[in-house]
Amino acid sequence: MERRFPVIETARLIGRAPGAQDFGSIRLLHADPRVMRTLSPTAKPMPETWSRQALMAIVEHFRRHGFGAWLFRERWSGDFVGYCGLKHSLVEGAPMVELLYSIRSAQWFKGYGAEAAAACVAYGFETLGLEQIVAFTLPHNRGSRAVMEGRGFVYERDITHAALPHVFYRLRRPLSPPKRRKRGTGARS
């Protein structure tokens, strides 16, 4: 029996767990020089073998943990937008859950990264019960930093990841709002 994974929906996007059939979508990201300047250690498009390995790692993460990086498409057109999700990562040797995302350059400046990130962060806190989520990017990646900061992530420090300098952000689970008392209950002064 095939395991079914959650679908994440926003006003404009639908995110689904990927499978082997999604290689072409992942390849759109990894072959795009503009995208790879923000993802690749070489800042150049990656070979197809790298894309296959990356896709299989995402699929395996879903299989092991029940969540991962969803592939997001526009609701009305079905066009591939990018991926966004949560994954278990080691950051400087410490286990953490990371928010990760990559949006096709043809889809930049439409707010899709922020929209997908908000949905994935909500899933992490509300469904998975996470206490915190981290995110990191190359220091010059202003778009990614804007997504993190717009979601409430706070810069903590510079780190080295994949042998490159990165900026590290963290978002802690929001405190639950105080429960409102019904009128006519409670102490009177």
Domain ranges for the chain, please list them: 8-172
Residue 16: which residues within 8 A CB-CB, separation 6 or more? 5, 7, 70, 71, 73
The CATH class for the domain spanning 8-172 reads alpha beta
- What pLDDT does residue 189 have? 37
3-state secondary structure of 64: helix
- What pLDDT does residue 43 have? 76
Q: Are 95 and 65 in contact (CB under 8 A)?
A: no
In this structure, the number of other CB atoms found within 10 A of the CB of residue 140 comes to: 11
- What pLDDT does residue 4 have? 84
Predicted confidence (pLDDT) per residue in 19-66, tens digit: 999 999 999 999 999 999 888 777 788 889 999 999 999 999 999 999
**Rounded CA gap, 41 and 25, in Å?**
21
Band (86; pLDDT cuts 50, 70, 90): very high
Residue 154 has pLDDT above 60, yes or no: yes
The amino acid at residue 175 is L
Instruction: For residues 113-124, give the mean pLDDT.
Output: 97
- What pLDDT does residue 91 have? 92
**Rounded CA gap, 151 and 115, in Å?**
9
Instruction: For residues 135-162, give the mean pLDDT.
Output: 94
- What pLDDT does residue 184 have? 46
